[in-house]
Amino acid sequence: MESQSTFAPGGGKTRLIGSAAMLPVGLLVALLLLALAAAVAVGLGAAEIDLGTVSRALVAYDSGQIEQVIIRTVRLPRVVAGLLVGAGLAAAGAIMQGVTGNPLASPGLLGINAGAAFAVVVGVYVLGAPPLPVYGLLAMIGATVAGVLVYALASLGRGGASPAKLTLAGVIFSLFVSALTTALLVLDQNTFDQIRFWTVGSLAGRDWGMVLWLGPFVVAGLALGLLLGPQITTLSLGADVARGLGQQVGRTRVLSAAAVILMVGGAVAIAGPVGFVGLVVPHAVRVLVGYDYRWITPYSAVGGALLVTVADTAGRVVQRPQEVPIGVMLALVGAPYFIYLVRRIR
């Protein structure tokens, strides 16, 4: 029923980065590209700022220069927020696909993003303007509840939570929760005014306070996901194989779920329910590096950060001086790729 050549671990022999010795080199190249994209992103916007001014703002800051103030207080925290969001969502999607054996698993398709976003909207509706740490806590609670409900819904009937049923349950849950979120926004004008751009996925207005409060959630989840690389690789071969090799499957799944919740909760609290990053990037990474999660997770994190940075930069310049939200830019890339994946994975 499912085309194993597109996802099963056996396909790792066809990676584009040939030998294992080249994988660290490829990761270093990706990091250099990410650094370049981040530097360009800091300089572009409603007003262009040259790279020389950007470098001076970083190493020889002068608060009397308005361009350097813009870089330090507006653009740099926004770029750092985008790096965190992209890295967290892409790594979370890769881990979800490895643990569930579902090539279409991602925070967006399985309802995790929608659940986290709904919890934040409810929090704003009830509390008004909660402190930043509360945003992260609400998002993680929503992500946890969403994951449990989607898995429970997919487990109903014969066959248990198959990949197809997980995807269908996630889509249904996302549509239902998104409708509830929209209803709350329509009912309460104050809530709508506070987070109307956030609900479509946006990095506009992100400051150092948000980055410093919510970023550690993403970093902690990513660190845990990196440590779990060998276990997730074994688990992606199948639960029976993992048990036969002496792995504690239940422990690996719980820790993987914790890593995903931390990354998705923090990312959604920062930028809203950004979609497609956790779906597109891991598949592209597997083509490059194979099916070893010791490399899939870090490559996905760097690739996701790069994709979000480029998409946000494009959204700022394509319709200057106005902006196109990052959620819209990523949907333009992700929706066609999703159709391609569905056609490829029969």
Q: Where are the domains of the chain?
A: 75-344
Task: Kindly report the CATH number that applies to the domain delimited by 75-344.
Answer: 1.10.3470.10
Question: Residue 165: CB partners within 8 Å, gap ≥ 6?
Answer: 154, 155, 157, 159
Which region among 101-110, 138-147, 194-203 has the lowest average model confidence (pLDDT)? 194-203
Residue-level pLDDT at 342 = 65
Is pLDDT above 90 for 64? no
Residue-level pLDDT at 219 = 96
Share of the chain above pLDDT 90, in %: 29
Residue-level pLDDT at 5 = 37
Residue-level pLDDT at 14 = 53
Q: Tens digit of pLDDT for each residue in 267-286?
A: 998 988 888 899 889 988 99
Among candidates 122, 124, 123, 113, which has minimal Cα distance to 88? 113
Distance CA 20, CA 93 (A): 23
User: Of 131-140, 186-195, 225-234, which one has max mean pLDDT?
Assistant: 225-234
pTM of the predicted model as reported, rounded to 2 decimal places: 0.87
Q: Tens digit of pLDDT for each residue in 294-304?
A: 999 999 999 99
Q: Is residue 322 very low, low, confident or very high in pLDDT (cuts 50, 70, 90)?
A: confident
Q: Is residue 170 very low, low, confident or very high in pLDDT (cuts 50, 70, 90)?
A: confident
Is pLDDT above 50 for 92? yes
Which region among 3-7, 161-165, 199-203 has the lowest average model confidence (pLDDT)? 3-7
Is pLDDT above 60 for 123? yes
